[in-house]
A and B are shown apart, each in its own frame.
Chain A
Amino acid sequence: MIQLPVIAANRLCIDYKLDKQWVNAINGVSLVINPFETHGLVGESGSGKSTLALALMRYMADNARIESGEVLFYGENLLLKSDSEMRRIWGRQMSLVPQDPLASLNPAYTIGEQIAEITRLHEGLSRPAARQRAVEMLERVRIADPEAVARKYPHQLSGGMQQRVNIAMALSTQPKLLVLDEPTTALDVTTEAVILDLFRSLIQENRGAALYVSHNLGVIAQMCDRVTVLYAGEVMACAPVDELYANPLHPYTISLLASIPRPLPGHETRLPTIPGVAPSLAERPRGCVFAPRCPVALQQCFDEKPPLEETGPGRLVKCHRWREIADGTLPVETPHEPPAAQWPALPGEAHVLNVEGLSKRYGSRTLFSRVAGDESRFVQAVDGVTMRVRARSTLGLVGESGSGKTTLARCIVGLETADEGRILLLDVMIPNMLRRRSRAFLRELQMVFQNPNDTLNPYQTVGQALERTIRRLKTEPLTPERIQARVIDLLAAVRLTPDYAGRYPAELSGGEKQRVAIARAFAANPALVVADEPTSALDVSVQAVILNLLKDLRAREGASYLVISHDLAAIAYLADWIAVMYLGQIVEEGSTEQVYSAPSHPYTEALLSAIPAPDPRIKQGNVRLEGEVPSAAHIPCGCRFHTRCPRKIGAICEQEEPPWREAGSGHRIRCHIPIEDLIVLQNSAP
């Protein structure tokens, strides 16, 4: 007997209404999810993966419509069902675990009520019984004190806990299909690792099928059995996970996998990139949608849409040239941009930036707290940080959210005023307060922000934005012609053509906006550029372009970087020196090679272990951090990491601040465990 697939989408087309015009978002997608299967759906932003995932639940945004095709749920076409029929399927047979855990919970009701509501509705449980079931569900998602959490409101929980609540809610009726839409994207990497472990075992326990949607090829590799690759609303490839990663057949899959930075030091290599940007919905290419960016496209690819062909059992690919790729006669190599000429290294130990004992705390002493002797109203975001950036090098600052890394960066560029400590730029002390800094210091110290969409003035053209910076920070009088020439220079440096000067930010893609932001930072030849998560808002293929660009600019302009990131893989590609930050303090520093291999601080070890490798054969490390970063208002005594440390040795960790231990050639670890013991512990770890 043939088992019916849980979901079978046939030639599904979905349109969106944009500016009173219907544009096509999903174009003829067919997809099958079998029972007990965890199916991965991977694609970049704008590929339509969330639209498709929700459409498989027959949930559409108000401005979307299903144009044609069918969605079969155990053989029944969902598109023919009425809303009231769907209401018996939603929540009972299919559930969603959403991307944004907090916003997806109603802020006005308790956690317990929001879970209990489902079983009251679908199983007719009484209020107390449903309540009891909610508590049991919270226990199943390994929430420590389920009774207490059931009485809490969503905003009182951390992101990881909120996502546990969402999954508890989704699983409380044992649905046949679980749709997980980027469920860990909003979480820190350490929390993500814990939640992924939990999802894996819960999906198995639930004995249903799951659709796992993500842009993260690492997460997909670790979670799924089969994977569908979506690009511009079309299926490019579908394959069992091992084959997709080991032996990709589609040029898009190949390029995408190549462009992921891996957490292995590799300073000389450059990341392969995918040139161009995904086509906009309104102007879908006639032929293969990937042809304009494909390194091996033929004329045929532009003229004629390739069919989705079966290449082997359970493998589909949509490419005219898959046979050549499969038998190895057509190597798909993504274009390498030539690296720019290198500046000679500076002799000795010259430093661009020295930070000494920098501290920043938030919160004011109110009269009340002073009388009550209440110290807890302070949030110590940065606590006595000392670090250096060597000339023409990159310092990578890593840590979870709440570690104080962004505050530290903002203190250095002056967006926040440090309470204590000294900042030396090019060996000259600069005031902590931005208003007291001279124009010359501003010139030498520039910043690139995380979200390029918010950093450019929407009413200024790219040219105006750059001109303004050049004029503000110029060292000598400049004629308008010279300024124009400089604008074009800067655009060329970030690989944008001169006509970009006349465009407004709204006309640029995310990657292009970030390039403009980088060009602006370099407008006055700064000595140090501080970049706060410069690629985390961007897609993988665009991230590779920006990472390469940052590397080239450093070589070309002779600048140094302080790069902040939670992504240890991306930062390994850029940085020569890494500082790991936890609760306002640096806990380890060393060269990238040193930090990424044993011995490491137990916190660094956990961060590295949490990275989901974009390869299903490499299992994630098994060092997990339970719990969240403690609030900076209540910093634990002794070693700040002792509350979560998997390698805690005893009472000393709770009572005494750990010493700095030297691990050779400047590599330092702040831990009670001696270096030799760390090496033994970490090398014996499975």
Chain B
Amino acid sequence: MLRYIIRRILLLIVTMFITSAIIFALTQLVPGDVARLILGREASPEALEQFRAEFGLNDPAPVQYANWLMKFVTGDWGRSFTGTQGPVRPLVTDRISNSLRLTLMTLVIAIPASVLLGIAAALRENTWVDSAISLLSLSVVGLPEFVTGLVLINGIALGARALGLPATSTVPDNTLADWIRQLILPAITATFVLIGYVSRLTRAGVLDELKKPYVRTAILKGLPRRQVIFKHVLRNALLPTITVIAISFGWLIGGLVVIENVYNYPGLGALMVEAVKQKNLFVLQAVVMVTIFFFALANLTADVLYAVLNPRIRLE
């Protein structure tokens, strides 16, 4: 088991290494001269040359890559081309912490909601309850986030002003009330994206397990139905669901591009869009690296969690 985890961590490092090379290569292919892009068309050749020297843009690509990577792992993520032209790292880590808050809020809503809906649908398979849950969860998945987001903003934030929910979300301070106030609408929007998949998966998992002979064993032991379901069935049925939730963690950190824009929330996704618009090379590199890191980390967590929770794998 320990060997398995170590192997997975090594794999994560290799993944990061390869993706860093790809990211660097892609940014090299961005059309146009970066120096001219930043300094503008009227910049003098001397200024351009000085800029290139300052940012190491004249070195051969492999050298640039090695320098960039070395600096990156030692914590020097370069300087932003725009705005205050300050260092990239504090900018990005700030956004990470913002994104983590939104992710946390989303998971707090999405996990209980979708798992409970999935269980309810499975236990009432082929009844109106099951159909209603399927219909509801699948129809919200079909709607893009900017639609559900705008509906929520117009309907709740602007429509029901008495609730006092803001139409644009800012980073919450450390009170529960503010967390809910600021993050509830974007979190619900993200939940809508997850709920269909997670609840269907839970439903399928529970139905699969219900068919297995060990459930009959549990019933014929005389166990109350609640224990049969919650102790015996769910312990096995939720394994795939837990994996998917762990993977979705990666998407929530870096992939909420649309939701963050709709709510104007300063997360990692929003920063990525800004960086692309402004061709802010080092910021973009850093954001993409961080996003990929969280994706890989989420995958690793999912695999390890699955193995830990499953004695058949844990004790191999």
Contacts and interface: CB of A to CB of B under 8 A. Distances in A.
Interface stretch (A93-101, A317-325, A581-589): A93-101
A404 B309 CA distance: 33
Contacts of B224: 87
B220 interface: yes
Contacts of B309: 108
Nearest to A172: B221
Interface residues of A, number: 32
A471 interface: no
A105 B217 contact: yes
Of B213, B219, B220, B315, most buried by chain A (CB within 10 Å of CB) is B220
B116 to A, nearest CB: 20
Contact of A117 (B216, B219, B221, B236): B221
A89 B219 CA distance: 11
Contact of B221 (A98, A100, A121): A121
A155 B213 contact: no
Contacts of B83: none
Interface in A59-108: 59, 83, 86-92, 94-96, 98-100, 103-108
B217 A107 contact: no
A404 to B, nearest CB: 23
A108 B212 contact: no
Interface string B276-316: 00000000000000000000000000000000011110010
B235 A155 contact: no
A83 B220 CA distance: 11
Interface in B215-240: 216-225, 232, 235-236
Nearest to B7: A368
Nearest to A90: B222
A302 interface: no
Interface string A102-130: 01111111000000011001100000000
Interface string A124-148: 0000000000000000000000000
B227 to A, nearest CB: 9
* SS class, residues of chain B in contact with chain A: helix
Contacts of A95: 220
A95 B232 CA distance: 18
B41 to A, nearest CB: 57
Interface residues of B, number: 21
B55 interface: no
Of A107, A108, A122, most buried by chain B (CB within 10 Å of CB) is A108
A88 B222 contact: yes
Contacts of A88: 222
B316 to A, nearest CB: 9
A164 to B, nearest CB: 15
Contacts of A166: 217
B128 to A, nearest CB: 18
Interface string B192-228: 0000000000000000000011101111111111000
A91 B222 contact: yes
Contacts of A59: 216, 219-220
B122 to A, nearest CB: 13
B311 A121 contact: no
Contacts of A103: 212-214
8 contacts: A87-B223, A88-B222, A94-B220, A118-B221, A118-B222, A121-B222, A122-B222, A155-B311
Would you list the 8 A-B pairs with minimal beta carbon distance, nearest first? A91-B222, A90-B222, A91-B221, A153-B311, A104-B213, A87-B222, A103-B213, A108-B235
Interface of A: 57, 59, 83, 86-92, 94-96, 98-100, 103-109, 117-118, 121-122, 153, 155-156, 166, 169
Interface of B: 212-214, 216-225, 232, 235-236, 309-312, 315
